[in-house]
Amino acid sequence: MKRQKSFEQEEPSIYLVPTPIGNLQEMSERALEILKSVDVIACEDTRNTGKLLKHFDIKKPLLSHHEHNQDQSISKILDKIKEGQSVAIVSDAGYPLISDPGSYLVKQSIEQDIPVISISGPNAALDALVASGLETKHYLFYGFLDAKSKKRIQELEELASFPYTILFYEAPHRIEACLKDLLSVFGDRKIVLAREISKLHEEYLRGTISEILEVCSTLKGEMVLVVSGAKKEENQISIEDAAEFVHRYMEDGLSMKKAVQQTASDLNVSKNELYQYIVKPTERKIQRLFRREEVSRLIKKCNDFGAGGVSVAIGELADGLRVDLDKVPKKYAGLDGTEIAISESQERMAVVVDPKDVDTFMGYAKEENLEATCVAVVTEEPRLVLSWRGKEIVNLSRAFLDTNGAHQET
């Protein structure tokens, strides 16, 4: 792990400085302060940056750094840092690295423990997004699509079922062709075309793709396309694939209820259908009801609650456990419908028993003083009982799956 405290170090650094996207008044005081304090400014076009610096009366050496010379310019920039000089990276407009070269420089700098500090400032994509009137809670910034129609369509096809707002940059001479491809792949969605942001002729066109196609041939200037996400009927994700998203959220610590709610919102699928797919089938064996990923989360909750040494084997056996009915103590073998996975030391076991035998088994577990015992019980209300030294600590039912912590069901 690398940890950087930007305001607590004085060593030479790389500063990523955004520049105005059209209105010079948007140049922040901090950005000007950084440009005045660094030793060298690496820029996309020395002529454009030279005009900007002249306007603010800043005189600094300029180093050309762009997509076509970055193999050489990165070495020069890193050499400057090694010589004890700080370097500011700027683009012609907006943030460096956003649809501009520079990410390779940042990666190399971080690898060499050189501080990389980003300065806040203008960004055309975010300006267009917040003024679009489309969904802003979740969004994807894609940048420029391919200039060739065939490749552009391939890119759009990969994005067609994406449920969130998508942001594209586009040049005026390609905007009509781009919108035609958008219409053919996405259908006639709501979009916003924002152009000349922060400049005198700033304009927002809000409507459907077909509506904006009618006037786009007359438009000029730098453009941002804000495109609404796929609607439910456009989203072809299967309920099985959606369930995978639920399990990922649960691995990150969400309860099943919240994971289902978030997934349903993200993917535009039915919350009830998704929830029922995950928890409903009482006829489904409990081994399939509780996936291995869920079990791992439950083990952590139990350990956090103080049930040290809990092991669970549902479906796939946990490490160190194996099914060996020949070594099962006779007292357990008489239980109806019993399946036991037991470690060689007989200190850890996972058991599936008939509901009526739960109390009997718990008694046996207590007598054996087993360090870690797991019982999976198939009932009308599927539940998982975890015990430690024979004492039941968690009764995991559907109600528990809707909670955030194990302590609520103890």
Kindly report, residue by residue over 292-322, the tens digit of the pLDDT.
444 445 445 444 443 333 333 333 333 333 3
DSSP 147: S
Partners of 165 in the beta sheet?
139
**Which of 142, 145, 126, 124 shows the shortest CA–CA distance to 134?**
126
| Per-residue pLDDT tens digits for 163-172 | 899 999 999 9
Least confident of 2-11, 210-219, 282-291, 336-345: 282-291
Q: What is the DSSP string of 78-89?
A: HHHHHTT--EEE
Classify residue 14 as exposed, middle or buried by CB count within 10 Å of its CB (0-12, 13-18, 19+): buried
Quick one: pLDDT at residue 340?
A: 47
Average pLDDT estimate for 211-236: 86
| Per-residue pLDDT tens digits for 346-400 | 444 555 555 455 566 556 656 655 444 555 443 334 344 444 333 443 343 333 3
| Per-residue pLDDT tens digits for 50-59 | 999 999 999 9
Average pLDDT, the chain: 75
Quick one: pLDDT at residue 369?
A: 54
Assigned token pair, 295: 């079990």
Q: How confident is the model at residue 152 (pLDDT cuts 50, 70, 90)?
A: very high
Percent of the chain exceeding pLDDT 90 equals 43
| Per-residue pLDDT tens digits for 90-131 | 998 888 876 566 788 898 899 999 999 999 999 999 999 999
Alpha helices (runs of H) in 225-342, residue ranges in sequence order: 239-251, 256-267, 271-279, 286-289, 292-304, 330-333
Quick one: pLDDT at residue 234?
A: 53
121 Cβ contact partners less than 8 Å away, ≥ 6 residues apart: 17, 18, 19, 26, 27, 28, 31, 94, 95
